[in-house]
Amino acid sequence: MQILDAKLLFKGSFQVRSKTEKIVIHHSASDINTSINDVHRWHQNRGWIGIGYHYLIYHNGDVYKGRPEWAVGAHAYQDAAHEANSNGIGICLIGNFDYQRPSDAQMKELLTLILNIRKRYPNLPVIGHKDLMATECPGQNFPWSDLYAKLQKEVIEVDLEKWMIEEGQTALKELTQKGLVNNPEQWQSEEKLVQAVPLYLLWIMINRLSSYKGD
């Protein structure tokens, strides 16, 4: 995915985050034309080194990097028991979702971004700022059930794909060992088994395996 860099200047250095346990979603609670430079300036006016979020998603779906993904954030802190600066990645969607809904482009890019982050931090839970402390953020109109349904679907598809690759590799190994496949290189060289094996092919392989009588 494309992540834009606004080349923000921070007034200080970042701290390395020692643990990563969640993704926290925010809204900017501002006009849809708010820019990353606006948010950066607002956060500097609070005495912070710069924008507190790790990512920002515009109304048109443009995704910007804020703080480096590995850095301690400044986006969710009430007290030591209610905070995620030390263990979370903060994503902010521009807009005020107490009054509007995020755009389709924003939600599409949010989903892509979450899946992208999960390549580096597998299975990271996604929550709202409101789940940590007393706030409405990311707003009453944020479509949680829609987001969770889409994430669940992706999880199932990724798991199924992983299962199909593993089963295909196991089946090929066994078929080769039993002499039922004499050109396993052809499968491997064409990279068929680093992709998901279509279910009908798995079925053929399993059938051949099960009908093999041995010697």
Query: Strand runs (DSSP E) across the chain, as ranges?
Result: 4-5, 22-27, 55-57, 63-65, 77-79, 82-83, 88-93, 126-128
Q: How far is the CB of 184 from Zn ion (least distance, A)?
A: 53
Contact between 130 and Zn ion per CB under 5 A: no
- Using CB under 5 A as the binding rule, whether residue 26 contacts Zn ion is answered as yes
Nearest to residue 68, comparing CAs of 140, 120, 135?
120
Which region, judged by CB under 5 A, interacts with Zn ion, from 96-104, 108-116, 135-143, 148-156? 135-143
- Burial status of residue 11 (CB atoms within 10 A of its CB: 0-12, 13-18, 19 or more): exposed
- Provide the minimum distance between the beta carbon of 20 and Zn ion in the complex, in angstroms, as a whole number: 18
- Asked if 137 touches Zn ion (CB under 5 A), the answer is yes
Smallest gap from Cβ 26 to Zn ion, in A, equals 3
DSSP-derived pairing of the beta strands 88-93 and 55-57: parallel
Closest approach of Cβ 129 to Zn ion, in Å?
3
The smaller minimum CB distance to Zn ion, of residues 17 and 26, is found at: 26
- From first CA to last CA, the distance across the chain in angstroms is 53
Nearer to Zn ion, 26 or 40 (CB): 26
Q: What residues line the site for Zn ion (CB under 5 A)?
A: 26, 129, 137
